[in-house]
Amino acid sequence: MTQKVAETYDHLADKHFTAISKVIESRVGIKLPPAKRTMVEGRLRKRVRALGLSGLQAYGVHLFDRDGLDDELIHLIDCVTTNKTDFFREPSHFEFLRDVAVQQLTQRHGGRPPNLKVWSAAASTGAEAYTAAMVLQDMVAAGKVARFSILGTDISTEVLREARSAIYPRAFVEPVPSPMQQRYLMRSKDPRDDLVRVTPELRRQVHFERLNLMDESYPFDRDVDVIFCRNVLIYFDRATQQEVLSRLASHLRPGGYLMLGHSESMAGSGVDRLRSVAPTIYQAGLAVNGRSAA
């Protein structure tokens, strides 16, 4: 029997899919309805092979009948979480960063080029964080930014390894403007090698940490200038969205910005510290007489 035919008959037991769904929702906040079952099974098959198990049913037994869940949890999360990302995805956000946010933050620094802190809160393989780094490094070169640092976080250890390596297929970096590719991407001397790597100078400005946005608190600075949290809230229920937005807002300095995905909104979130300044872009209230004003 071929592998493809074997996989046709290889499925999780109903009770194990239900148990996995409950674990992922409680630990990560992501719902896995029955419609996601085929997707989940497809992603778990690679893990089944890595463990040398006979199939998905054996994987379910390993997790829930043989007490393997604690050791396997991080790998399970890596498998089922979605990590879609691109360089210069939703480019209007990076245009706003360059043309509006930095200018306003400069004014708040008395006209001096600011030192900026940026947080990519669902960093995946790093494209978002490195895109912001390219934009800001150009502004450093133009004297419009003094220094910057970028934090990228994600729940998936697998994608964070890729982000730290900063190695990508050439086709993946096509959205990067050609001049930036020349400045910030290194190509192999071997023309057969279809990979590029972000330059060491840019990599030094970006670091990555594992973080579950479901955690009750985030062990990071509370004076961040710009937070990107795009296309992740859509996987959470309304209550979890409100909790995550409130925690993120608490890490913005007055006047800082939060950028959400194109299909996400703060409407009804109950986080009154942030006000809308552009589609999917929100600004933390500025301090007035010692208080925050929206």
* Residue 206 to residue 223: CA distance in whole angstroms: 17
Active site residues: 43, 154
Bridge-partner residues for 231, per DSSP? none
* Residue 140 to residue 199: CA distance in whole angstroms: 16
* Residue 193 to residue 180: CA distance in whole angstroms: 20
Among candidate residues 174, 173, 199, the one with its CA nearest the CA of residue 186: 199
What does residue 216 show for φ and ψ, rounded to 5 degrees?
A: -70, -20
* Residue 114 to residue 147: CA distance in whole angstroms: 7
Q: What is the CA radius of gyration of the chain?
A: 21
Beta-carbon contacts of residue 231 (< 8 Å; ≥ 6 apart): 84, 122, 261, 262, 263, 264
Please check whether residue 11 is in contact with residue 57, taking contact to mean a CB–CB distance below 8 angstroms: yes
Kindly list the distances between the CA atom of residue 55 and the CA atoms of 1, 2, 66, in Å, as whole numbers in the listed order: 14, 14, 15
